[in-house]
Homo-oligomer: A and B are copies of this chain.
Amino acid sequence: MTDVKIGPNPLFLREEDLRQGMELLFYAYRDFTAEPDAMLAKIGLGRAHHRVVYFVGRYPEITVSDLLGILQITKQSLSRVLSELIGQDYVVQRTGTRDRRQRLLSLTDKGMDLERQLSDAQRARIARAYRAAGAQAVEGFRTVMLGIMDEAERGKFPGGAGKRG
């Protein structure tokens, strides 16, 4: 952690600020995933199952290739996880009607239960953090997180500061 000789810095971005940003991500993500990981371990599943269940719940009737695009893993990696989830009745496949090559994935009731259980701890964590931070801080959080991720992904997060509901 060195090298701060990049000339005048308009935002006073120091090495220390950047390092802190990196660590915020590390610790927040580590603690964010710890609870569901522990729950999953009890039923013999792993984090990969959570991700699949989460995104299938989020986008019912998602195709396998769209899911691969989100997870950015290979189909062989997804295959084992997905077939376990289907075999244990958390996820169902349905042949697409418009395109019969597609396998549209959805959660069963059992899958929805699991998803809710797993995500509840995370939702509560986010809710607590949002509540404590306030609306303006949440908007800043959103802006920075969008800036951190690849530009290509930002379209997934429409809307802005708009107060709704």
Count of chain A residues with Cβ under 8 Å from any Cβ of B? 73
Cβ contact within 8 Å between A123 and B58: no
Residues of chain B contacted by A101 (CB below 8 angstroms): none
| Residue A99 at the chain B interface, CB threshold 8 Å | no
Q: Can you list the 4 inter-chain pairs with the closest CB atoms, starting with the nearest?
A: A140-B140, A129-B147, A12-B165, A137-B140
Known: A1-B57, A25-B28. 4 other contacts (CB 8 A): A10-B131, A12-B165, A32-B148, A132-B147
- Using A60-B9, A133-B147, A143-B133 as known contacts, say yes or no to A25 and B18 having CB atoms under 8 A apart: no
Does A156 contact B60, Cβ atoms closer than 8 Å? no
Q: Are A128 and B147 in contact (CB under 8 A)?
A: yes
Determine if B130 and A27 form an interchain contact, defined as CB atoms under 8 angstroms apart: no
The A interface, classified by DSSP as helix, strand, loop or mixed, is helix
> Which residue from B57, B137, B153 sits with its C-beta under 8 Å from A27?
B153
Docked complex Cα distance between A122 and B4 (Å): 15
Q: Mark A25-37, 1 if CB is under 8 A from B, else 0.
A: 1111111101000
Q: Tell me if A19 counts as interface (CB < 8 A to partner B).
A: yes
Q: Is A24 an interface residue (CB 8 A)?
A: yes
Can you list 11 A-B pairs with a CB-CB distance of less than 8 A? A1-B57, A1-B58, A1-B119, A8-B59, A10-B131, A22-B122, A24-B142, A24-B157, A27-B149, A31-B149, A137-B140
